[in-house]
Amino acid sequence: MNSSVQLGKFERVSVRDVWKGEAQDFTPWLCQPDNLSILSEAIGLELEIQEKEFPVGEFRLDILARIKGTGEAVVIENQFWKTDHNHLGQLLTYAAGVGEGGGAKAIIWLAEHFAEPHRSTLDWLNRITEPSIRFFGIELELWRIGHSDPAPRFNIVCKPNISQKQLSQQTAALSSTELLYQEFWKGFMALCEKEGTMLRLPPSPATVSWLSTAIGKAGFGINLNARKRSKDLECQLWIEPAAKNTWPLLVMNRAEIVKRLGPQTQFDEMPGKNFGKIFEMSTGDISDREQWPAMYKWLKERGEAYASLFTPLVKQLKLAQ
């Protein structure tokens, strides 16, 4: 071992050295898509901002977000320093008051330090509420090496633990087609876990024909499809409305993209719509379980190829403000 190698040392940075105030400084920073994607990756849910300082009765929620793909409401309450009873009450008030009357499906409490009674309260809420409602307690940390810029870290101190009993509650009201999709994607995710994968999979299997995976850049995602009706498979880079302005930049790289992915790659700007996609297709009948191993293999290989190519590429693209 070379004893002369010089290594840096991690140093904790005070949150208030970077953001003087929570409402006027930190909340606007977190609302930026690239910063929100760090939080999304930490909790395993891809989030998109709907509104900051969202009115809930006479109160104001720091951030109202949505889960990408489902549109479910997400409450984000920020607090500098240590958690307190007032913010716990606010958190529950906001959770009940959003979601068009249905309440929030994910409730995120961000603070510098979590008091043990408040962490225990979130654990208790995760145990007693229905499986679709998730509470997260997250401590905000900043670290740097030497004189580098501080880097944020979202340290999860409390998160939902979906037991087998909860999963059975979730599936009780599903249709036979939804159960089929859930079984299919559950098997796919189990294979990825066994073999290892670079795909950023969601925390639970989908009950629809597509499985959305994060790519580390807001506005983009790698979607995998297995359609029952048309008996086909699809792997796609999905481009959200917030990123549609990057389409000309992606097309400029068309030759290199096709070279890397193959001549079967297709580009669809989807004129007249806010979305766009780069994709390829194959055949596969999800109703025939004997085909599942081959379908899994294609989806995994192509998904990883797309993630390998587009993850670094889209990070360089600038989104419209």
Structure tokens at 182: 């859930």
Question: Does residue 3 sit within a domain?
Answer: no
Residues 6 or more apart whose CB falls under 8 angstroms from that of 321 comprise none
> Does one domain contain both 239 and 269?
yes
> Does one domain contain both 61 and 131?
yes
As for how many domains the chain has, the answer is 2
> Does one domain contain both 74 and 189?
no
Of the residues 164, 192, 214, the one at which a domain ends: 164
Q: Got the DSSP string for 42-91?
A: HHT--EEEEEEEEEETTEEEEEEEEETTT--EEEEEEEEEE--HHHHHHH
Structure tokens at 1: 């071992």
CA 265, CA 152: separation in Å to the nearest integer?
37
Band of the pLDDT at 317, cuts 50, 70, 90? Answer: confident
Dihedral pair phi/psi, residue 13, rounded to 5°: -115, 135
pLDDT at residue 314 in the model: 87
Question: Does residue 48 sit within a domain?
Answer: yes
Q: Which residues span the domain enclosing 209?
A: 174-315
pLDDT at residue 101 in the model: 58
The pLDDT of 197-202, averaged and rounded, is 89
CATH number (domain holding residue 118): 3.40.1350.10
pLDDT at residue 7 in the model: 66
pLDDT at residue 78 in the model: 93
Question: Does residue 77 sit within a domain?
Answer: yes
Q: Is the pLDDT of residue 164 over 70?
A: no
Question: Does residue 169 sit within a domain?
Answer: no
Q: How far is CA 100 from CA 49, 90, 121, in A?
A: 16, 18, 25
CA 43, CA 257: separation in Å to the nearest integer?
31
Band of the pLDDT at 319, cuts 50, 70, 90? Answer: low
